[in-house]
Every structure is written in structure tokens, then in C-alpha cells.
Amino acid sequence: MGECKRCGMCCQDVRLAEDPELLEKAYGYWKRSKQIDPNFSDIYLIYPMLEFKFEEKGADLPYHYRCKHYAVIDGLPACSIHAIRPRMCRDFPYYEDVTHLQQEENLSPYEGCGYNDPD
């Protein structure tokens, strides 16, 4: 497995299974909760960070978003909240179900991503 090349594609094209309405509803539920449910996915907490781009019908992760914290700093793609970025960003490209991938499959869905480079 390679390493991050700072291309910024994972920030400019965040792919999720959840549509914007579900994210907004779940985020609102979380904000109103008096007690945080440990089974509540943190994916919903990033709702305010995302800007909906488009839906790709038939794809495994059909909803495409852009992170509002993506920036270009000193000419390089960067995260303006890097120190406190969400778990899904810290763990990229590893996800809970990444174990299903075969050795020869890409870890990242982004063409040219450094994580897809061979060791």
C-alpha cells in the first residue's frame, strides 16, 4: 500500500450511501438527544461539513459531497481542520468493511490516489 499524495480527491468527492435528507434528519436527531447512543454512527455528525454535489444512481456509494473544510494552503490541498478532522477522514482509506477487498483491488475509489500504489 502506498501513502497519501495530498491530491485532495477524498475531500472534494466524499462518497456516502446516505442521501442529504437522511444526513440532515439524523444530525438533527443527534443534536436533540440528551444522551449519545454509542451505536449512533459518527457519519451523521459530519453533515454540517458537507456540501451535496450529485447522486450517481446505481453506485454502491451514490451520494457525492464536497467537504467545506477542503482548502489549498501554500499551493497544496489541505484540511483546514486537520487536527480535529472526523474519524472517517483520519482512517481513510480504511473502512470497517475494507477486509472484503482482494489483495489486487484498490483501497481508494480515486484514480491516482497514493493509497492505491503498490508497496
Nearest one of 56, 58, 48 to 15, comparing CA atoms: 56
Residue type, 60: D
Question: What are the domain boundaries of the chain?
Answer: 9-113
Instruction: Give 38-68 as a DSSP string.
Output: TTS-GGGGGGGGEEEEEE-TTSSS-EEEEET
Ordered per-residue pLDDT tens for the chain, 119 residues: 688 888 899 999 999 999 999 999 989 988 888 887 777 777 778 899 999 999 999 998 899 999 999 999 888 889 999 999 888 888 888 765 555 555 567 878 888 888 888 76
List phi, psi (to 5°) of 16: -130, 160
pTM: 0.82
